[in-house]
Structures are given as structure tokens and as C-alpha cells.
Amino acid sequence: MKPSNSDCTRRSHVVRFHIAFSLLVLVATITLSIQPVYFFQKNSGTKVLKKVENRIVNGKTKVGKIAIEKAPGFLAGLDEKTRIGLVNLPYDDAKSCGINGSLTVVDFDVVSNDITWNDLYPSWIDEEGESSSHPTCPTIPMPDFSPFNDIDLVVAQLPCRRPEAGWNRDVFRLQVHLVAANLAVKKGNRNKIGAVKLVFTSQCEPMRDLFRCDDLVKKDGTWWMYEVDVMRLEDKRRSPPATCELISPLHDEGPNKGFVAGKFNPLPSQRRRSEAYVTALHSSDTYVCGAITLAQSIRKVNSTRDLVLLHDEFINPTQLHVLHDAGWSLRQIERIHNPRPRSDGLFEYSYSKFHIFLLTEYDKIIFLDADILVLRNLDMLFNFPSISARGDHDEFFNSGIMVVEPSNCTFKTFMLNINSVKSYDGGDQGFLNEMFVWWHRLPRRTNFFKVIWANTTEEKLKFDSTFVADPPQLYAIHYLGMKPWMCYRDYDCNWDLETVRGFANDEAHWMWWRVHDGMDEGLKKMCRLSIKQKRNLNHFRLQASKMRYSDGHWKWNITDPRKDT
């Protein structure tokens, strides 16, 4: 124990001893700042973690050097009997900043510093045992919650590395969120409407992936208080901790793989959920034909969910009438300008897609781009949490098909951040990936890219067979590159353009046309080729003939009746 002032006075005549002791204290202080220590003490029978310094010892909970603001009135005014679980917040710090109540520190092993965000969110995972190696998902340690009594409130201190690049993709930050969420679900007392209370202190906003701004009931400085429906939080908590694992694997029915039932059956509810498939058309009428075929493909697989199409003024009344006949319920929107579109003008109004978050009459929606064809019923996806999507590249998801929970508050948050959040691709997908970093990976068969990965004839044949399998192996095909309705029906016109030949596949192309051919004639008329489109297609064929592409599609005789219409 450090001597008191009186001790030092009595010994002041021992100068050499005093100097030596001062040096010892100085060395100890420096040592602790480099390698600090935590120790446990018993407090009224409760194990409490006390902080000596802000680093890790034996892999236990760490707390960064953060100046914690004084607790706001809604915490300082709590009854001393209020049972509070502290996450990443030492007992002394909680008391010193004015948190009253019966405090219990929930200790946990800190995730290894060797685990990076890319380990949790790899660009590719072996979904179907295609690789001889079997990589495993890194572990994010969770405490054993069983020894703890029920609590009335969770209070957690969140790390915040902003404005550091990648601050929102911090593994330890994710771990603290998950510990708090699990504690609330497992030990939190529910109020009359089934909600649990959590408070976070941080310079950074809590992850909206887990804690929606709709559930924020109080905010004071760096303190955020949420009341979260425990069933919604359970919906999140039962998901894998990251996309190194599928949110729900596909069980093997021979080639006809389907979702594993059970884990994501609907949670108990007092009412029937309202759900819809949604697409959006804006800035031009180029995708009208695609949207019509999309609606027909959804109905063809026997889904009875609502179909909602968002559109702007660029879709004319005749087209709207046919879209309605195809099955869409129509909602007009105002375009949202992208403050940072690409230099070529692409994605200038792609943020208009954000209007899907305003469809709050629905509990969940599945958004689909209009260049998608559904081959199998996707209704199972409504059981998955927001945001669920397939991987695109690196740690990012593809926004072509995604499960979304609409929220007015989330939409407002987008608008507040539209000028500050930088999209990696200049479009809506990049923006959404910055707003929702903790997403959930759907199997790629739910949104299968029409991209040629094959390097050999055998691989190509296997790839082609995937598109034409009967019954279908795929849930949906995403038509990248030139769209089927923009080509002659005879073959995939991506073959004729050097820049998009990687997207060319005749089997997938013909699959789209088979659905088209089953539509009523009144719907098909929206898929006619304009004079300009036909001129472009003929130009592409001419250029392909000059390049003498070995596939020889440029030699094919065109029989598409739209050629002469």
C-alpha cells in the first residue's frame, strides 16, 4: 500500500529512502500504463471487475481510455434497487460517473486482436463443400450468462475509433454490442409490451444493425437509451455473428438444395406479420419489362405476398397500367439525388431506392432489383433479420436482393448522412454497406449472379446445367450486364461486347425468355425493342464480326420477331 502523507512526513528525514521509494512508484506507474491490471473483489456477494488501468490482462474485458461523461438524469435518478448489468464498463467508473443502482459487471474474454473484420466478413465462403479445405469461422467469445440474476437495465460502454478509417468495422466494438444484446435477451426483465432496456455510452452511435433508431427513447450527450422488443432482438441474436457463416445453410436434396427448417421459423407473435416483395423504377423506363417479368416470376412460384413497385414520373401512364396488370401495387416517389455520383453519371439517382425504408405498413420486405428472375419461392427469407443479403465482394453485400425492415427513422438517418457517408461504388449499394456493416449472408443460390466463372468446358457445362435444372436448383438469377429484354431472344448479346462478355450465358438468357413467353400478350408489349435498341444491337453484332469472336454468335441468324416490329 502506498504510504500516507503522515507516513511520508515521519520518514522525511530518511532522504535516500524517500528518493528510492519515489523512483519505485514512478517505475510502477510507467509499468502499469504499459501493462495494466484488473482484479476482482467481492461486493455484497457479487463478483465485480475493478479497473486499475485500461488494457487487457489474461484476455479479460478491456476498456479503452475514454473520458466518460457524467451520467444523465435518467440514470442518476435510478433507485438503488435497480439491477444493472455493466458491459465493458468497470464498477468504479460506473459509480464515479453517477450511475446508481445495484451494479453487476458482466466480464467476458475479449476477442483476439488477431481476428480482423475481413476474417469475420470474407469475400467468399465455401457454402456447398466445393473446396477440399474446410475453413472455420473465428470465435467471438460470449460470457456464461447462467450465473447472473435477472437485471432491469443493461449499460454498456462502446469503443469508438472515429474518425479512424474503418472505425465502424471494429471487431471488439461488435463484440461489446453482442454481449449487451445477449445479456438483454437472456437476463433482461421485460416491460408490459415485451421490451428490454439498454443504455450505451460512446462518442459513436450504437450499431443500427442491432439497435434501431426507432427504439431510441432518450439521448443525452454521449448516452443513448433504447427500449427494444425482445423478440426483435432475439431475431438478431440467433443469427450467426458474422458472414463467415451462412445465416441458414441449404440442406441437400440431391441437386435441389433447400433451406434448413427450424432455426429461422417465425418467432411467436400476437399478430399476423405484413410482408411484401418490392422493386423500384426511377429515372427511365428501361427496366419496365424486367419489372413485369419479375412480378410474373414471383407469382409463378406461388407466393401470395404483396408486390409493391416504387416509381417516379419517368414511368408513363400506359406503362403504369401494364405494371399494375402484372401484379404490382404502385407507389409514386420523388427521386433522391446522389451527391457523389460517378463521373459517367451512373447512380445519379440510385439513392431513390432508399424509399423502400418508408414502407412501414410492412414488418419486413424483400427488395429485388428489376433485372432478377425468381425460380423458387423466396418466402422463407421473410423470417430472416434485416439486413440479409448475399455477399458481393470483400466485406460487402449485394443489394440486388435483400431482406429489409422498413423504418421512418432509418430513412431520416440516411438523409442526415447522405452528404457525409462515402459510397465505395458511388451508388446505393456502397452507401447501404456503410450504414449496415453487420449484415447476414444469404446463400448465393438466392441471388445467383449471371457471371461466367468457368475456365474449362467441363466447368462451363456444369455452370450451364445450374441455370436449366428442373426442378430449379437456384432461387433467383441476377442478370448482370446487358439485360435479356435488351437483347434479341436468340442469344445473350453480352457475347458481342468485349467489356461484358464475362456476363454472357445463353442458358440463363433463354430461361428468362421462357418466363416471358408464358405471359399475357398485353404484358409482352412492354418488352418491344425501340429503333435505337435495334440499331445498337446490330452495331454490336457488326463489331463482334470484325473481332471474329470464337463463340460465333455474331454469325447466328436472328429470328426474334421484335427485329422487324
439 Cβ partners below 8 Å, 6+ apart? 209, 243, 387, 388, 389, 397, 433
In angstroms, the Cα distances linking 91 to 38, 102, 155, 180, 493 are 11, 10, 11, 16, 66
What average pLDDT does range 475-489 have in this prediction? 98
Distances (CA, A) of 66 to 106, 107, 174: 19, 18, 17
The pLDDT mean for the chain works out to 86
Given a cut of 70, is residue 42 above it in pLDDT? no
pLDDT tens for 149-207 read: 999 999 999 999 999 999 999 999 999 999 999 999 999 999 999 999 999 999 999 99
* pLDDT tens for each residue of 351-375: 999 999 999 999 999 999 999 999 9
User: Nearest 5°: CA angle at 66, between 60 and 72?
Assistant: 110
Domain ranges of the chain: 37-237, 274-442, 479-564
User: pLDDT tens digit string along 234-274?
Assistant: 888 888 888 999 998 776 555 566 766 555 655 555 567 89
Give the pTM. 0.86
**Confidence (pLDDT) at 239:** 85
**pLDDT tens-digit profile of 43-101?**
333 333 333 223 233 345 554 445 678 999 888 888 889 999 999 999 999 999 999 89
Give the pLDDT of residue 267: 54
Position with higher pLDDT, 5 vs 278: 278
41 pLDDT band (50/70/90 cuts)?
very low
Torsion sign, CA atoms 4, 7, 13, 14: negative
Question: What proportion of the chain, given as a percentage, has pLDDT over 70?
Answer: 84
Please answer whether residues 494 and 482 qualify as being in contact, where contact means their C-beta atoms are separated by less than 8 angstroms: yes
Span 383-433, pLDDT tens digits: 999 999 999 999 999 999 999 999 999 999 999 999 999 999 999 999 999
Task: List pLDDT tens digits, range 284-315.
Answer: 999 999 999 999 999 999 999 999 999 999 99
274-442 adopts what CATH topology? Spore Coat Polysaccharide Biosynthesis Protein SpsA; Chain A (3.90.550)
CA distances from 175 to 111, 272, 442, 533 (A): 7, 33, 22, 52
Cβ atoms of 103 and 172 closer than 8 Å: no
* Greater pLDDT, 444 or 61: 444
